[in-house]
Amino acid sequence: MKVLITGANGQLGQSLLVAPVSANEFTWIPTDYPELDITDPSAIEHWIEKVSPDAIVNCAAYTAVDQAEKEPEKARGINATGPLQLALSAKKAGIPFIHTSTDYVFPGTSRIPYRETDPTGPISVYGRTKLEGEQAVIQAAGASIIIRTSWLYSEFGKNFVLTMLRLGRERDQLGVVMDQIGSPTYAGDLADALITILKSVRDRPEVFTSPGIYHFCNTGEVSWFDFAKEIFEYTGLSCKVMPLRTEQYPQPATRPAYSVLDTSRYREEFGVSIPYWKTSLVKCLDVISGKTKQK
């Protein structure tokens, strides 16, 4: 299966490229800006004609949540216009399209995990543009799958885990928000989930003929404060973590207070289990420290 990956230089794209798949099962075609501008239909169609992919996976996203408040049109271009053009081009080519989205499409007012059918209500520019992207993909009405995830981290790029490791070495004490709850998700596990979906789309194409939404994140829930404590405890960093309330750490973009995702639909559809967040955190930290090799 030949798969065109957009946003391949991001942490999810890189995790997908190092995922353990047999050479005769998948051929990855990694692209990123500027070699492929996902907002440009002619550029997308050029790549489709050039490589004849069997599927497209969109890992590209504008994820600078606070900066998006200052650059709403740039965020909208990458998070909404791009997915629309990719979905339309995939439909025209008759191939499936997988798009990644976020827990930030929800308002965070729930106290139980969000299901795919729950009302959305983003409270930031980032969340709104990601929801616009979802809606655009659905309106394109092709063989598309939207997979929402949360609190993504990995050994690649910029993310909470790598930031905590850096600050933990630089400081004796650190304040971290304790009243925002979510499910940290290891990008390596999300990459495996995307591969599972690709295999199902390949083997059961008759099932995936219209847009569908699934939630995927590691199991369990935790605050940013307790997440940071777990990182420091496992790595032996002596930095003391102090709990902060959201109002004590003002940021340009408002975050959901609770954005845990219910993953039962994904688990039932694809017949797989999902690792607990602590288990996957240890896996990632071991890769970062060199205790284990990348997948």
pLDDT of the residue at 291: 65
pLDDT bin (cut points 50, 70, 90) of residue 47 is very high
Tell me whether residue 73 is in a domain: yes
Report the pLDDT averaged over residues 32-57: 96
End-to-end CA, the chain: 20
Let me know the angle formed at the C-alpha of 110 by 272 and 255, rounded to the nearest 5 degrees: 95
The answer to the question of residue 228 being in a domain is no
In a domain, 16, yes or no: yes
Which residues sit opposite 244 in a β-bridge?
A: 177
Which CATH number do you get for residue 42? Answer: 3.40.50.720
The verdict on residue 93 lying in a domain is: yes
Query: What single-letter DSSP state applies at residue 79?
Result: I
As a whole-number percent, the residues of the chain with pLDDT over 90 amount to 93
Query: Does the annotation count 126 as an active-site position?
Result: yes
Give the separation between CA 90 and CA 109, rounded to whole angstroms: 35
Nearest alpha carbon to residue 154 among 293, 15, 13: 15
Number of folded domains in the chain?
1
Structural domain boundaries, residue 271: 2-154+184-218+259-275
**What is the mean predicted confidence (pLDDT) over 5-20?**
95
Instruction: Report the alpha-carbon distance of residue 233 to residue 261 in Å, rounded.
Output: 26
Q: What is the arithmetic mean of pLDDT over 5-15?
A: 97
For the segment 172-211, what is each residue's pLDDT rounded down to a tens digit?
Answer: 999 999 999 999 999 999 999 999 999 999 999 888 888 9
The 10s digit of each residue's pLDDT in 232-262 is 999 999 999 999 999 999 999 999 999 999 9
Q: Report if residue 240 sits inside a domain.
A: no
pTM for the model stands at 0.95
Catalytic: which of 62, 104, 114, 126?
126
Residue 40 has pLDDT above 80, yes or no: yes
Say what the pLDDT of residue 292 is.
58
**Do residues 102 and 150 touch, judged by C-beta distance below 8 A?**
yes
- Whether residue 102 is contained in a domain is answered as yes
Q: What integer pLDDT is reported at residue 200 of this predicted model?
A: 94
Question: Residue 293 — pLDDT band, cuts 50, 70, 90?
Answer: low
How many alpha carbons fall within 13 Å on the CB side of residue 141?
Answer: 1
Q: What is the mean pLDDT of the chain?
A: 95
Average pLDDT over residues 137-158: 96
Which tokens sit at 226? 């307790």
* CA separation, residue 65 to residues 103, 228, 294 (Å): 12, 19, 28
- 113 part of a folded domain: yes
Q: Residue 48: pLDDT above 90?
A: yes
Percent of the chain with pLDDT over 70: 98
Give mean pLDDT, residues 48-58: 97
Residue type, 61: A
Q: Does position 281 have pLDDT exceeding 90, yes or no?
A: yes
In a domain, 285, yes or no: no
pLDDT band at 123 (very low <50, low <70, confident <90, very high): very high
